[in-house]
Structure 1
Amino acid sequence: MRLLSITIILFAGIMFAQSSVEKFTPQLNAVVSSVGGNEELLVWVFFTDKGNETQNYFLKPSTVVSEKSLKRRAKVLSQENIISENDLPVNQNYIDQIKSLGFQLKQKTKWFNGVSGWATKAELAQFANLPFVKQLDIVYRFRKDNFEEEIHNEIPEESNQNLSKPTGTNSLNYGQSLTQVNIISVPQVHDLGYTGNGITICMMDAGFDKWTTHQVFSTMNVIATWDFVNGDADVENGIDMGEGSHGTSTLSLIGGFYEGQLIGPAFGAEFILAKTENTESETPIEEDNWLAAMEWADSIGVDLTSTSLGYIDFDPPYPSYTWMDMDGNTCRITNSADYAVSLGIFVVNSAGNSGYDVHNTLGAPSDGDSVIAVGSVNSSGTRSGFSSVGPTVDGRIKPDLMAMGSNNYVACNGSNNCYSSWGSGTSWSCPMVAGAAALLLEADPSLTPMQLAALMKSTASKSTNPDNLYGWGIINTYAALQSLLTNADNTTKVPEDFYLLQNYPNPFNPSTKIRFAVPEKSNVKIYLYDILGSEISVILDEEVNPGVQEIELNGSNLTSGVYLLRMIANNYQQTIKISLLK
């Protein structure tokens, strides 16, 4: 009987040991088997549950995410599913127990119910024996794709140099940034008053040096900052780890504003700045920092994110993702990006700078099926040779959209009025697309991420023949706005506001169409003036029913030149410039 008891105990011990070992992923096992016993590894510890005391969170969702986040989620989730267990805090008791065994905490993830941090092999074995530990894995770390910094000897394109205010058609002076916004039809949208107002954007980068002092950020509304590398609110260059010149440039591209120098698409938006990369490390991009930043931004109420993130292979003994893993489901950072989209966040990511190959050259998370992967074109609209290509392993077209990413005019951190056009990369094209998306969201905040993606694809340059070099092509922000405001689905929808759209075509000869909208029955007057403000004629003066309207202006009796159109209705006034070119 005693022998039988010993056998049962030994068998149970063997089974328990097996279950503990099985908690190690193959990737972590590979690393553990190749390092010394005292070497600390950066790992994930995932838990089985969130604990027992969770009901109060469901009774009051605003205790876990902000009201703004809940409002955004309501676009894609029913009220009963507005939060889930994924939103609840990680069980602090579980964290305390593994910390008591030697775990050094780095980040927490509510969405995946775990924590990242450092531990030795012996400590990992102890964690695996805990009943509430579900899985142990390595934290994937990437080396930054620094293509932008490696081409400083390239001569800037002449077409993007020495540009002054465009003649006649735009109300803002874009300076040398004109080419990069003009190629995606942003100035026409700015002329209609859209600037990204009311939209919250999270930028994730290696810091944002001089965001508080550079002239291009002087009017920027930054509502939150956090350094996920060093654990403080300072995202500029300081005494701690990391250098933020890259983020200075990407932030200026999406939302900078200094007339005569640089104007980004979404200069009227509010921004969240997350430092997620440590430039002092050989592997500065750590997936746990990015995931923690995304969860943080979600809780604040972010509408869209822009990440200029790329990767190349890891250093041994760390396992590496390859092009074969770009299937939208393998990489944890991709899964987290897709999950963010499911919560109503529009996620924009650089496609990568690895150029063309017989297989895809993408970097996670741009392989996500819900992530907008952005490639690069030059000022003439031709694909940049470095721009990464698809398809994903499961056959989906990538990249999704294109914008200018060659020799963009950006702010730099050399001084508070420093600008440059020497750099290139999909790091530059990504914030251009994200900024344009913010303008469209401002026009219709009810758009879900999938609706917004479809809108931008359907109005891009290759909408009818997408491929794995250009995706759906170069975005056309103005065409997307026109489609949004006047598409067939909205013909019976009463607009919320008055607006006057830019005429189309523009320049024109001899006629052009003018679209406008009224939210209520109103007397509408539209006047035509010359460039000096002298009235030429009254194009419209009548009572108009609610809805989107269109009239035609015939310029046969006019000479070539720039004219002004002014719409007046109730307390609304809007003036646009039009160009007649005979």
Structure 2
Amino acid sequence: YLLFVTEDVRYEYRIEEYHWLIAAEKADSAGVDVISSSLGYNIFDDPSMNYDKSQLDGLTAVITRAGQKAASKGILVVTSGGNTGLSDPWETVLFPGDIIDGLAIGSITTDNTLSSFSPRGGTADGRIKPDLLAQGSGTFLINGTGSIVTSNGTSYSAPLVAGMASGVWQAYPNINVYDLLDALLKSSTNSANPDNERGYGIPSYRAVKNYLEAEESNVWFVAYPNPLETTDFLRIKVFDPIVDNNVQLKLFDTLGKPLSDENLSISWQDNEYFLEMTTLPRGIYILNLQSSSNFSQVKILKL
């Protein structure tokens, strides 16, 4: 990895945005795939440089435009949303958190509630921000003296998402940055109803993996192992819980006697159901699966 220090703590001027731009350009030349950025701008020591909320459009601030340029080169940009929540008049994300093809990260506590400092509110052009959430309250980190401590801030939640995204990309090297963004957003916990407090929710590796597998699958479900030989549990995986929601499972014997009738609760986070067949004797069974979009009937053999 490469570490670039673009922030000058002695002052706050727009020149620091150009420092970030140069660092991003250098990162691109070195073949970087993911940028994790823990800084943000809105107010400067020279008031004439200040931004206002109407400029949160993904097209105005130098640092945002630099991030967007990095995205166009295939780099995933993950940035801290800013600690501008309930106690800050700004309240919403800082620049470059208004990036269009990148991620601004908010913060949650250890019990998944929204941190008080997590940014709230979208962009000037009506886009959802923050994009995703990760733990930024009581986050474990190594401080400057090498000690393991906890601290608070979206500067600590953003690297968690960047690290997870890097792992996903390593597992699925053939997807591009837009595929990765799509998978991260659409598989997160709040993706069905995103808002300007929790964004698209909390991402997870399992959910992203399930989403990408659904993209590649040409069937709507699998039931396995079939035949059952070394286990008494039939695993039923529904690939796309958005297309195929409200799944009803029915199991019959060969005489048509109903043995099981279940409504499956599935999501991107958990799209598998374990059907216990311990008490059933060896033989052939008929599995019916009905979703909002599909119906299938499968013979199941228990040895």
Calculate the TM-score normalised by the size of structure 2: 0.70
Aligned equivalent of 1:401: 132
CA contact (8 A) 1:365 1:371 kept: no
CA contact (8 A) 1:400 1:471 kept: yes
Query: Residue 514 of structure 1: CA displacement?
Result: 8.1
Distance 1:316 1:284 in 2: 9
CA contact (8 A) 1:376 1:387 kept: yes
Q: Deviations over 1:183-207 (max 9, x none)?
A: xxxxxxxxxxxxxxxxxxxxxxxxx
Query: Residue 280 of structure 1: CA displacement?
Result: 3.5
Q: Deviations over 1:518-541 (max 9, x none)?
A: xxxxxxxxxxxxxxxxxxxxxxxx
Aligned equivalent of 1:297: 27
Distance 1:317 1:397 in 2: 28
Q: How many residues align?
A: 232
Distance 1:512 1:313 in 2: 58
- The answer as to 2:204 corresponding to 1:476 is yes
- The answer as to 2:157 corresponding to 1:429 is yes
Secondary structure of residue in 1 paired with 2:106: strand
Query: Residue 449 of structure 1: CA displacement?
Result: 1.6
**Residues 290 and 552 (structure 1), Cα distance of their counterparts in 2 relative to 1, 3 Å cut:** same
CA contact (8 A) 2:191 2:200 kept: yes
Distance 1:395 1:303 in 2: 28
Distance 1:349 1:445 in 2: 22
CA contact (8 A) 1:443 1:481 kept: no
- The answer as to 2:211 corresponding to 1:489 is no
Residue 142 of structure 2: which of 406, 411, 421 is its match?
411
Distance 1:276 1:479 in 2: 34
Residue 60 of structure 2: which of 305, 330, 338 is its match?
330
Secondary structure of residue in 2 paired with 1:399: coil
Distance 2:207 2:176 in 1: 19
Query: Residue 551 of structure 1: CA displacement?
Result: 11
**Residues 469 and 554 (structure 1), Cα distance of their counterparts in 2 relative to 1, 3 Å cut:** same
Distance 1:313 1:380 in 2: 32
Aligned equivalent of 2:51: 321
Residue 446 of structure 1: which of 163, 174, 178 is its match?
174
Query: Residue 361 of structure 1: CA displacement?
Result: 1.9
Secondary structure of residue in 1 paired with 2:2: strand
Distance 1:475 1:409 in 2: 19
Alignment of 1:161-560 (within 5 A): 271-281=1-11, 283=13, 286-316=16-46, 318-356=48-86, 361-414=92-145, 416=146, 418-421=147-150, 423-484=151-212, 486-491=213-218, 511=233, 513=235, 554=276, 556=278
Query: Residue 282 of structure 1: CA displacement?
Result: 5.0
Identity of aligned residues (%): 39
Distance 2:46 2:65 in 1: 24
**Residues 512 and 313 (structure 1), Cα distance of their counterparts in 2 relative to 1, 3 Å cut:** farther
Secondary structure of residue in 2 paired with 1:306: strand
Query: Residue 410 of structure 1: CA displacement?
Result: 0.8
Letter paired with 1:374 = I
CA contact (8 A) 2:56 2:123 kept: yes
CA contact (8 A) 1:335 1:368 kept: yes
Distance 1:461 1:449 in 2: 21
- The CA RMSD over aligned residues, in Å, is 2.6
Letter paired with 1:281 = Y
Q: Deviations over 1:547-576 (max 9, x none)?
A: xxx99674847xxxxxxxxxxxxxxxxxxx
Secondary structure of residue in 1 paired with 2:167: helix
Listed as ranges, the gaps of 5+ residues in structure 2 are: 220-231, 238-271, 280-303
Q: Deviations over 1:72-94 (max 9, x none)?
A: xxxxxxxxxxxxxxxxxxxxxxx
Listed as ranges, the gaps of 5+ residues in structure 1 are: 1-270, 493-509, 516-549, 558-582
Alignment of 1:6-25 (within 5 A): none
Query: Residue 281 of structure 1: CA displacement?
Result: 3.5
Distance 2:277 2:138 in 1: 39
For the pair shown, the structure with the greater C-alpha radius of gyration is 1
Query: Residue 290 of structure 1: CA displacement?
Result: 0.4
Alignment of 1:13-52 (within 5 A): none
Distance 2:108 2:101 in 1: 22
Letter paired with 1:386 = F
CA contact (8 A) 1:291 1:336 kept: yes
Letter paired with 1:402 = L
Distance 2:18 2:277 in 1: 60
CA contact (8 A) 1:351 1:389 kept: no
More helix per residue:
1
Distance 1:551 1:388 in 2: 36
Distance 1:286 1:305 in 2: 17
Query: Residue 483 of structure 1: CA displacement?
Result: 2.3
